[in-house]
Structure formats: C-alpha cells, structure tokens
Structure 1
Amino acid sequence: MRVVLTGGGTGGHIYPALAVGKFLKAEHPATELLYIGGRRGMESKIVPQHGIVFHELDITGFRRSLSWENVRTVFRFWQGVRNSKQMLRSFRPDAVVGTGGYVCGPVVYAASRLGIPTLIHEQNVVPGLTNKFLSRYVDAVAVSFRESLPFFSKVPDAVYAGNPCASAVIGADAKRGFSSMGLSPGTPFVLTVGGSGGARAINEAAIGMVPMLSKLPDVHLVFVTGERYHEETLSRIRSLATEAAGRVHVVPYVHNMPEVLAAASLVVSRAGASLIAEFTSIGMPSILVPSPNVTNNHQEPNARSLADAGAAVMILEKDLTGESLFASVAAIMSDRARRASMSEEARRLGMPDAARTIAEQLSRIMRKGSNT
C-alpha cells in the first residue's frame, strides 16, 4: 500500500497525519509513505525526523483583508496543484490523507482530479477553510468531534472517528513520566503547558499562582514554558520567596509528553484538538484556556465541548489570572470525587481507536475506488 500524507502549518495538523502513518506502518509494514508539506511550515522539520520521505510545496494561505498577496496565493495554489499532480503521478499512491492546513488544499484537490481515493481529517469542532473547500471533492471525511458531522453532510463517507493522536498515548508508561520530571511515583502534580511554543498568558497566570501553592502542600507543578519563555520564567520563579517554589519544576519542553500526561493528576492547557484528544483518551481532567488568536476562534468550541460534558473547566483568556487559575486548580485537586468524575467524563469522550477507525475508512474508499 502506498499512501500520501499531507497537512501542515501547525502541530495540530502535522501530528494527526503522522499518527495515521504510524498506525498504517504498524499494521502493514510494507506500507510506503510520502508526506507532501509546505516549504515554510513546521512539517518541513518535523516529518523527516520520523523517517518519512518529505516533498515540499511553496504555498501560503489567504489573508483576511484585501491584499495583492492573495493574488499571489491563488497563483501558488494552482502552481501547487500542478506540482502535486507531478508528485502523485510519480509516487502512484493508493490513497491520499489530508489533515488540514493550507498545503493540504492543492495536494488533496490534485488527487481528486486524478481519481485517487481521498480522505480528510478535521480536528476541530468548527472546520477550517481548507477542509470546507475540500469536502466538495473528497471521498471521505473523519472528524474528531461529533458536532462537526453536520458540516460534512454531503460527503459520501463521513464518520466520527476521533483524533488519531489519541491512539499514540495509549499505554504510555506513567513511571517513566514521573522519573523524567524528577518525581517519586504517585506524586500528585499539575501539568501546565501552553503548546509546543508556550503561551505567555498561561505562563503569567501560572507564575502568579505559585505563591498560592502553599495552600496545596502535597501538590507539585510541572511547568512547561516553551523554549522562548524558559529563562525568564525560571528566573522569576526563583526570585519568589515562597516555600512552594521548591515544588515547581520548570522545563522548556517535554519530549515524552504521553508519559508525563499519564503521570499527571490534572493538566492546564490550550484547547488544541490534538492535545484534547490525548487528554480524553487517557481520562485526564483538564483546565482549558482556549487561544483567542487562532482562526475562527476554533479552540473555544473545542474547550466548550469538554466543559459541557463535565470533563474540563474552561477559563477564557480575558478572565485568566493567577487567582482564577489557582481557584480552579485548588477546587479540583482538593476534591478527589470531582477529579474522578471529570476523568470518567473525559474517558467517555475519548476515542483511543481513532487511528484504526480512519485506517478502516481508508481501506473502504480504496476498495470502492478499485471497483469503479
């Protein structure tokens, strides 16, 4: 089986594609993968590290205001379609899987024009512009949230599959998570993370609540700052004259996130779809602070979906302070029954077999394509 993966711009588009590819290789070791991504996107650095052949396109997204740059974007799109057709004819894939982002557009569109079976995965509750456009041409859609299905009512094969990133955290070793943070097994800790690059608003609130941790004497804080905020954050916490500072573990980045998540008692995070998939798959209670700086404010519906189910608490960034964050942390960490209830509701929403569901859907459209 030969499969093209495409999607990029952010980790939220890249890691689901990689998770699908990893599952396909595990189930069918002879599977050959090609990843087509953007020249300027994170995928150009991340994908080769996973041992997958990477081909690049020069593609940009539309600006939301009138601009001559949009004219160039249209030109790059059609140039991307032509280049994608060349790559696809050369690789001869059995199917193409797109996970969103601007680069996904020309690749999946080109595949559909060539009669190659196509599937797109939508991570967020409200679909992105690219996937809305592609839904008119693809054979199948998989969504992370049930609420997304009405947006794809005209697609022949649309399923609620969950996010394939969920499959990647199942079976993570909590003991290794504790040891990697220098903690004894069973130590209760709150994991605070603002995404791969960090989030200043979450960092500021977390710094603000450090002196209040004395009211939770047994609880530690694992504080993932992001590389660019690390030194400043570490310096500010060290300057705090408080006993609780000794229970704050400040790191720039976590390379073994599934293991650390498996060990955590509670997570404070943005509401990116891939992170939410990981939280729910292992039943992790969460405090979600959706980013107001993303397209269509898509993180807020993601967070609200979990909050409405009782699996998370949502704090809007405009309401986020050290005091408001600590109040939510303390209310959850001081109430074992509530934490257990949140965990149960999160697990109920989790889709740990998401990658398998998408792989089965992919097989279905490939069989259908071979019969036409």
Structure 2
Amino acid sequence: SPAVAVIERLRERSAVEGWPLTLLYIGSKGGAEREIITAMGIEYLSVPVGKLRRYLSWKTPPDLARIPLGVAAAWRQVGRFKPDVIFSTGGFVSVPTVVAGWLRRVPSLVHEQTALVGLANRIAARSASVVAISYESSRRYFAKARRVVLTGNPVRQAVLGGEAARGYSRFGLDTSVPLVYVTGGAQGSHILNEAVAAALPQLLAQAAMVHQCGNGPDGSSADLRELSARREALPTDLQARYAVLPFVREQIADIYAAASLVIGRSGAGTVNELAALGKPAILVPLASSAEGEQMRNAEMMRDAGGAVIIREAELSAEALSVKLGELLADPSRLSAMGSAALKLAQPHAAEAIVELLLELATVRD
C-alpha cells in the first residue's frame, strides 16, 4: 500500500540523515492493514468510521452518527500524539483524522491513489495542506484544494527485486510452462475464485498458477477449501502446476518476477504494482466498487495497452480460459503489454511524498 511504501522511505531517510521518527497509524477497527502495520512495529489505533453515501440505505443514519464520534476520537489522538504532519491515504477512515488535524492546526497531506477520485478524499482535501495525486487526470477533482502535486502512487519494497526461479521453486511448480499469478486482493474475489475453480484443468493445461484466493469477507476460507479440494482431484502433473493460498506475503516479489501474466481485480494497489513491475494483466474490475473506481483503473491500463478487461457479467470459466490462451500464445503481445504498463509507473513516488511531508513538518516547526 502507499502507506507502507512511504513509511519504508521515511525510515530509510531517518536512519541515513539522523532525525528522529515516531509513527502512529489511525485506521478502522476491522481494517485489513492492522496486521501489516503492527508487524512493522507501529502503534495502531482505531476510530469510529462513518460512510457517506449518494444513495438511500438503512446504513446511512448510524454511519452519519459515527462521523462526529470519529472526529472526536481523532481529535483526542492527535492531541495526545502531537504529530508534526499527517499523511492520509484516503477512504472514509482518513477523514476524521485530517479534519482533527486541521482543527488542531497540524498540516496534512492527502494522497489520492486512483484515477477516479472518491467522495472521502474530496471531503478531506478541503482540510488538507497538500493533495498528492497519482494521475494528472485527477487534478480536476481538487479545484478548491490549497495545493495539488502530481507524485504518482508509491509501491512497497516487498514487491520489488524478486527472482523468477524462486517464484517457481517456492511452490514446487512445473517450470516448463509460463507462470500466471491470480489475485483477488486482500479478502479474495469469490467470483474470480469460482471461475478459476471451474476452469482449472483447462487453465493448467496452459500454465502454472499461483492463486491468492483470500479467506473471504466473512473469514470462512470456504473458497480456499474448495480450491484445495479441486487441486487434490487433479492428475499429479497438473497438481504440480497449481499452488493456492489465502495470502501472499514475503513470496510476492518472487511471484511477480516469475509471472508472465497476472489475473486480478483492478484496485489502485494492484494496478500500481502492475505498472511499476511492467506486468501484463487480465483485469476483472469489481462492479460494485465506489463510483466505478475499479473499472476506471482497468480502463486506464487497457487504454495504455497494458491490460485486457473481462467484466464481471462476462466472466466465466470459458471466457477466462480462452483469454488466457490467446495471450500466452502470443509472447510478443505480452511483452508489448508489459512495456506499455511500465510507462504508467512513477518510480519516485514515495520519495516525492516524503519530501512533501518533511516540507510540511518543517513549516510547522
């Protein structure tokens, strides 16, 4: 995530330049990032989160009630921690902290990861000192912001510097065929998992596959159990071409290095990593993503020449198998797609954001 990438760069600069660095992460109670942040040795606190919607929902009244509670909780935490600067990576969980910082006269930087700006960052931008954008096309959404800077979207170090041979050997995969990485994001994608399960023999006839399937929104691991059972039912030679696991951690750089193609959702993090690494992709945008954010991300990659899109409504075992076959049968096309994806990358994004944060912290001093 951008937060992890910026934290890594802040720590590097602190160690080299000799200035003290103390970090506090404020997120939601059930945030998927909690485990990552605490593993980095950073204090993690949660605040109540309320989501504003542009449609009628029974969830709206209780969510509206949580907004002032979130601001009050963030106000207390900002007062206790006394930060020199606040870095926000977006989402409704970030709004209370940015607002609390504004009320306490703490400068803040709001980072927008996506090409299509969501409501939360539009609100937070009104209280921010600087808005950092990943794509020039996002600038028009922040016409009233005090300052807007194009930085790009930072990439965490964990995805860089992998070795292709280890991508195969970590999972004992057949090296005689291309490797495809399937990812549905942190929680996994049930619809993508279903399509892969139904097409597994056809897919594995063409490639080896590392499949990050998640544990599902309910944490039940139902898809993992189903996919594992499907693997066990395969002939031995095809079993040697398929690895399924709920999460990918330290293996991610090697998997990316080995992957000839990625099949996945088109969240900001995934698209950013594909661009940074120059990886061609089959993208299946989440149809219910806020304001069509994932479709916009996928279209940006497709229009640049780095990806093809299969819409959720069109996703099937056959569609996935056919599209995979078309791409793997044309290595020159895959190479061209990877080069096109790489042109969207902003390799110095983390450094640019760190420079802005240090500038804001110095102004406060």
Q: Same fold (TM over 0.5)?
A: yes
Q: Which amino acid aligns with 2:351?
A: R
Question: 1:87, CA displacement in angstroms?
Answer: 1.7
CA offsets 1:32-83 (integer angstroms, 9 cap, x no match) = 1011122233344442222101222122323555467534433332232222
Structure 2 CA distance for aligned equivalents of residues 282 and 140 of structure 1: 28
TM-score by length of 1: 0.87
- The 1:67–1:310 alpha-carbon spacing in structure 2 relative to 1, beyond 3 Å, is closer
- Deviation by residue 1:75-105 (Cα, 9 ceiling, x = unmatched): 3322322222222122221100111122211
Sort the Cα spacing of 1:115 and 1:266 in 2 relative to 1 into closer, same or farther, 3 A.
same
CA distance in structure 2 between the partners assigned to 1:352 and 1:186 by the alignment: 32
Out of 236, 240, 247, the position equivalent to 2:241 is 247
More deviation, 343-352/177-186 = 177-186
**Is it true that 1:325 corresponds to 2:313 in the alignment?**
no
Q: 1:186 to 1:367 in 2, by over 3 A?
A: farther
Q: Tell me the residue number matched to 2:224.
A: 230
Deviates more, 1:305-314 or 1:327-336: 327-336
Q: Could you tell me how far 1:136 is from its partner in structure 2?
A: 1.4
User: Structure 1 186/20 Cα, relative in aligned 2: closer, same or farther at 3 Å?
Assistant: farther
Quick one: distance in 1 between partners of 2:58 and 2:179?
Answer: 50
- Tell me the CA shift for residue 368 of structure 1: 4.2
TM-score by length of 2: 0.89
Rounded to whole Å, the distance in 1 between the matches of 2:59 and 2:280 is: 43
Q: Which residue of 1 aligns with 2:218?
A: none
Q: Alignment partner of 1:142: what SS? A: strand
Q: Is the 8 A contact 2:25 2:43 kept in 1?
A: yes
**Distance change in 2, residues 1:312/1:326 (3 Å):** same
C-alpha distance in 1, partners of 2:58/2:214? Answer: 35
1:91-102 equivalences in 2 (<5 Å): 91-102=81-92
- 2:121 match: 131
**Secondary structure class of the residue paired with 1:121:** strand
CA RMSD of aligned residues (A): 2.3
Percent of residue pairs identical:
34
Query: Do 1:141 and 1:158's aligned partners in 2 also have CA atoms closer than 8 Å?
Result: yes
Match of 2:154 in 1: 164
The 3-state SS of whatever aligns with 2:23 is strand
Q: How far did 1:244 drift? A: 4.2
Q: Does 1:221 align with 2:209?
A: yes
- What are the residue-to-residue correspondences of 1:73-88 with 2, within 5 Å? 73-88=63-78
- Report the equivalent of 2:262: 267
Q: Distance in 2 between matches of 1:323 and 1:62?
A: 39
* Pair 1:242–1:97, CA change in 2 (3 A): same
| Displacement after TM superposition at 1:172 (Å) | 2.9
Distance 1:41 1:285 in 2: 29
| Residues in 2 aligned to 1:208 and 1:202: alpha-carbon distance in whole angstroms | 10
Q: What residue in structure 1 maps to residue 291 of structure 2? A: 296
How many residue pairs align between the two structures?
A: 354
Distance in 2 separating the partners of 1:204 and 1:66: 31
The runs of 5 or more residues in structure 1 that have no matched partner are 1-14
- Deviation of 1:339 after TM superposition, in Å, equals 0.9
Alignment check: 8 A CA contact 2:158 2:252 kept: no
Give the SS at the match of 1:198: coil
1:23 aligns with 2:9: yes
